[in-house]
Amino acid sequence: MKVVLFDELQKAPGRHYAEAAQTLKDGGLVSFPSPSGYKLAADMSSGRAVSGLLQAKRRVKNAPALVFVPKRQWVETVADAVSEYALALMDAFWPGPVTLLFEPHPDLDSKVKKALTKAKGWLGVRMPGDDVALGVLGAFDGPILVSSANLAQRHGECSVAQVKKNFGRTVELLIDAGDLPQGPKSTLVDVSRGQCEIVREDAVASADIRKAISSLMAPRAADG
């Protein structure tokens, strides 16, 4: 595992983000800090990289299904049927802590799609708002598969020592920002199959979600 200290990253962000992006393109795993703890990341278009991430987490039955995108235009490459609800929530909260749940795009690699959706049937997609994630995404210029840097059914994603212990042999590059506070998780909203259902309320309140889609809900209520 190569470790890049956060201070080093700030001094030469272009070089270090490019290195992280190249690691992902080569099929390796990268770990970086986020508001909710350290993340593991892999190139979601690579079956080998996806398998490597799952094996690193010792998580086979409940595969991680969170995808980070650098720009909202990438959503249409990983998600099927992007509804008006989804577009309204992207306008209101992206980049930021709202994860939208979609059915996977039919053109995704079949092995990758099966691995990522067999637990829940959907993909979570988000454009994050923190600088490190956006820096990695901008350099990679494509969607990446992301999961909390912890082993299945265990915590430890906020401790850099625990991340190094658990993933020292499987993660090729770690951006080390020290121990992190336990921040809020993203709010999950299911926008698949034409619906809009709040699955988990956390960083963004349900009332704010409803406000963002109120103009779409009102005509339907009137029609009913």
Per the listing, tokens 């992006």 go with 21
Between CA 64 and CA 100 the distance in angstroms is 14
Residue 67's CATH number: 3.90.870.10
- Amino acid letter at 146? V
**Are the C-beta atoms of 34 and 149 separated by less than 8 Å?**
no
pLDDT digits (tens, 9 = 90+) for 40-50: 999 998 989 99
HSE-up (13 A, CA, CB side) for residue 109: 13
pLDDT digits (tens, 9 = 90+) for 98-139: 999 999 999 988 888 887 887 678 899 999 999 999 999 999
Between CA 63 and CA 222 the distance in angstroms is 41
Residue 221: band (very low, low, confident or very high) from pLDDT cuts 50, 70, 90: very low
Q: Residue 184 belongs to what domain range?
A: 2-223
**Are the C-beta atoms of 37 and 158 separated by less than 8 Å?**
yes
Give the chain's domain count: 1
pLDDT digits (tens, 9 = 90+) for 132-166: 999 999 999 999 999 999 987 678 999 999 999 99
HSE-up (13 A, CA, CB side) for residue 66: 21
* Start-to-end Cα distance in the chain: 58
Q: Which SS3 state, helix, strand or coil, does residue 59 take? A: coil
What pLDDT score was predicted for residue 222? 45
Between CA 159 and CA 165 the distance in angstroms is 10
Between CA 153 and CA 116 the distance in angstroms is 17
pLDDT digits (tens, 9 = 90+) for 55-101: 898 765 555 589 999 999 999 999 998 999 999 999 999 999 999 99
Burial of 27 (0-12, 13-18, 19+ CB in 10 A): middle
